[in-house]
Amino acid sequence: MMDTKINIPKNTEMTSVISIKGVNKWYGDFQALSNIDLEIKLKEKIVICGPSGSGKSTLIRCLNRLEAHQEGTIQVSGIELHERMKDIDVVRQDIGMVFQSFNLFPHLTVLENCMAGPNWVRGIDKSEAKERAIAMLEQVKIPEQADKYPEQLSGGQQQRVAIARSLCMQPKVMLFDEPTSALDPEMVSEVLDTMIELAKSGMTMICVTHEMGFARQVADKIVFMADGQIVEQNSPEEFFNNPQHERTKAFLDQILK
């Protein structure tokens, strides 16, 4: 387990990029989220962890409204997300999202995957979109795969392309929904390294992950969820060395064995 804290730019402004207040969500009778309050500031790196079924994925998917919450408010850059909103697509353009199952577009090459967003919705012309795509693929260290199709790549490579695809939109926030859970063990680190690089560049990041080494290295704040609630949120030092709740202790015992 790496313990060295790397040098990551801290949030200097106090403005919230994402503001979650009193959010509740139900699937039928099952309450998936209850009374969630969370503020995420510019350049902050948040890691959300917790046992499966604790609502952490549901919460992160509410932040770009892939899922709908039923009570409370979620504001992204001051815009409230609700079901009557007209311009959800504009809000989503500024929120990158990386999925557990990559979700690259299989009929497009790696380069086309990365050009699609800027070219189709940002209105950037093809040559510029291509330049940007190549730059981002260099950032995730796979420019040589640009002309391949996703299924020709390994899982780790696909996930890095997915990160590059999101970055091409030049988002304000990046959401990671268990980005390494579907990967073979030897590919986890290449994706985590990419995410650490991204953290260093000052990106605002919200990561649902079980990678505690990554959390320790990168996170400004670790949010622990169980049963749809935020049980505890703290700095990594406090969270790992001095957990407050029994649930947190039990979880850490399990995961850090």
**Measuring CA to CA, which residue among 150, 229, 162, 167 is closest to residue 203?**
167
Piece of 75-83, 97-105, 208-216, 225-233 that binds other proteins (CB under 8 A): 97-105
Please give the C-alpha separations between residue 5 and each of 54, 75, 174, 207, 221, in angstroms, as whole numbers: 28, 31, 21, 17, 13
Binding residue count for other proteins, defined by CB under 8 A: 27
Interaction residues for other proteins, span 73-92 (CB under 8 A)? 89-92
For other proteins, the closer of residues 169 and 183 by Cβ is: 169
Q: Does 147 help bind other proteins (rule: CB under 8 A)?
A: no
CB atoms within 10 A of CB 31: 16
For other proteins, the closer of residues 86 and 257 by Cβ is: 86
* Closest distance to other proteins from the beta carbon of 169 (Å): 6
For other proteins, the closer of residues 2 and 90 by Cβ is: 90
Q: Does 27 help bind other proteins (rule: CB under 8 A)?
A: no
**Measuring CA to CA, which residue among 171, 162, 21 is closest to residue 105?**
162
Per-residue x/- marks for other proteins, 99-118, CB under 8 A? x-x-xxxxx--------xx-
Interaction residues for other proteins, span 43-72 (CB under 8 A)? 64, 66
Q: Does 121 help bind other proteins (rule: CB under 8 A)?
A: yes
Piece of 2-10, 22-30, 160-168, 216-224 that binds other proteins (CB under 8 A): 160-168
Residue 129 CA to residue 202 CA, distance in Å, equals: 22
Piece of 28-36, 49-57, 162-170, 203-211 that binds other proteins (CB under 8 A): 162-170
Residue 84 CA to residue 256 CA, distance in Å, equals: 44
Residue 95 CA to residue 175 CA, distance in Å, equals: 7
Task: Name beta bridge partners: 46.
Answer: 206, 221
* Closest distance to other proteins from the beta carbon of 142 (Å): 18
| Residue pair 230/36 in contact by the 8 Å Cβ criterion | yes
| Residue pair 129/168 in contact by the 8 Å Cβ criterion | yes
| Residue pair 74/63 in contact by the 8 Å Cβ criterion | yes
In the complex, the residues that contact other proteins under the rule CB under 8 A are 64, 66, 89-93, 95-97, 99, 101, 103-107, 116-117, 120-121, 149, 151, 162, 165-166, 169
